[in-house]
Amino acid sequence: MATALDLITGALQEINAIALNESPNSPDAQFALNKLNDMVDEWAARRVYIYDLSVPVFTLVPGLNPHTIGPMGAITSTSLTNNLATYICQNNFANGQQVTVQGCTNGGNVLNVTGNAQGVSATQFSLPIISANIPSANDSGSVILAGSSFPTFSTPAMGQRPQVVEQATLVLTNVAPVVDVPIHVRDSRWWMNVRVKDLQTDIPTDLWYDPDFPNGSIYLWPVPNYSYQIRLKIWGVVPKFPSLSTSFNLPPAYAKALKVSLARDMVGAFQGTWTPQQESMWLRVTKAVQGSNIQSPRGQTGDVGMPGMHPWADYNYFSGLPSNS
């Protein structure tokens, strides 16, 4: 399986920064790794690069508005070696992120300890190790980003809050079979025009997502007063590369798109070469990736001929006249 170093080596060879039989030295490889992760971080903000649309289900908290969403991991195991406590949690905090372990105990006292998330081998994306220098540790507690608060909903293996909520449905769990009721996803202008924001009901009809950071905020209206579930369609992320040895497995065209895009980004730093043929290759491969992720928007029209608009049954766009005229 290919690794981040394979991508970096290919990208540097692409711009003639190293020979075909060479490997990058350590400083150059680390610089390129940083550039690669910067690029992946940029891709996470663009829908055309997002191949993973998650549809998690959460349980609403009656009377709460907003519900927050963000990264949080429950500790699954801990160990202690020479006063170094190691926590393992089920979430994919990025390598090097500052995280806080809350709810661990030491002699009966609850501790909040901050340390760095450390990835190991290929499991980094789902099983990071969070370490902190404390005398003891128990198999309990939770992990959140340092400086943040506990979110209402924990994002599924993303390491950050969703960039966008595309769709939402209310899941009526008190009937059999369960029923999904669509919720209108609104924008901030709509939310600001809501006159009574604290109105409560058991069936919220509208949602506005504010992508705060590190936790996003989900505003429901009316405010739910029953613990139904909510199903969200959210953007995933292109996983980052914690180390040069990190292996990856991505959809078709992504490996080449990453390599060629990285090469294009590093031309100036390495004083490399970039030809019109390479630019055409970059355009071709990025279009291949983007084309798999782009969705054509649904369109509708209020033109004459639509039901309920005018008495005419049809409309001829060639003549510009109703069909029965």
Q: What is the mean pLDDT of residues 138-148?
A: 69
Residue 157 lies in a domain: no
Average pLDDT, the chain: 82
Supply 160's token pair.
């950050």
Residue 278 lies in a domain: yes
Residue 97 lies in a domain: yes
pLDDT in tens, 281-317: 999 999 999 998 987 766 666 655 555 555 545 655 5
Q: Considering 235, 251, 273, which residue would you say is the last residue of a domain?
A: 235
User: Which among 236, 230, 214 has a CA at the least distance from the CA of 65?
Assistant: 230
Residue 303 lies in a domain: no
Task: Tell me the DSSP string of 153-195.
Answer: EE-SS-SS--S-EEEEEEEETTSSS-EEEEEEEE-HHHHHT-S
Contact (Cβ atoms closer than 8 angstroms) between residue 53 and residue 291: no
Share of the chain above pLDDT 90, in %: 55
Are 104 and 227 within one domain?
Answer: no
Are 62 and 178 within one domain?
Answer: yes
Judged by average pLDDT, the poorest of 118-127, 140-149, 175-184 is 118-127
Are 205 and 102 within one domain?
Answer: no
Are 38 and 186 within one domain?
Answer: no
For residue 121, what pLDDT is reported?
31
* Residue numbers of the domain that contains 247: 4-49+238-293
For residue 77, what pLDDT is reported?
67
Between CA 17 and CA 97 the distance in angstroms is 31
For residue 126, what pLDDT is reported?
30
Q: Considering 102, 123, 150, which residue would you say is the last residue of a domain?
A: 150
Q: Considering 210, 235, 260, which residue would you say is the last residue of a domain?
A: 235
Are 58 and 166 within one domain?
Answer: yes
The band of 135, judged by pLDDT with boundaries at 50, 70 and 90, is very low
The CA-CA-CA angle for residues 110, 115, 121, to 5°, reads 125
pLDDT in tens, 262-288: 999 999 999 999 999 999 999 999 999
**CATH number, domain containing residue 112:** 2.40.30
Residue 317 lies in a domain: no
Residue 143 lies in a domain: yes
For residue 120, what pLDDT is reported?
43
Are 139 and 93 within one domain?
Answer: yes
- pLDDT above 80 (res 96): no
**What domain count does the chain have?**
3
Are 140 and 103 within one domain?
Answer: yes
In DSSP terms, 184 is beta-bridged to 206
Crossing angle of helices 254-266 and 4-14, rounded to 10°:
50
pLDDT in tens, 38-84: 999 999 999 999 998 889 999 999 999 999 998 887 776 666 666 56
- pTM (2 d.p.): 0.78
Q: Which residue has the tokens 């190293």?
A: 18
122 or 263, which is more confident? 263
Are 183 and 63 within one domain?
Answer: yes
Q: What is the mean pLDDT of residues 196-221?
A: 96
Supply 166's token pair.
């595309």
Share of the chain above pLDDT 70, in %: 71
Are 130 and 188 within one domain?
Answer: no
Are 15 and 64 within one domain?
Answer: no
Give the range with max mean pLDDT: 147-151, 158-162, 186-190. Answer: 186-190
For residue 266, what pLDDT is reported?
97
Between CA 77 and CA 127 the distance in angstroms is 11
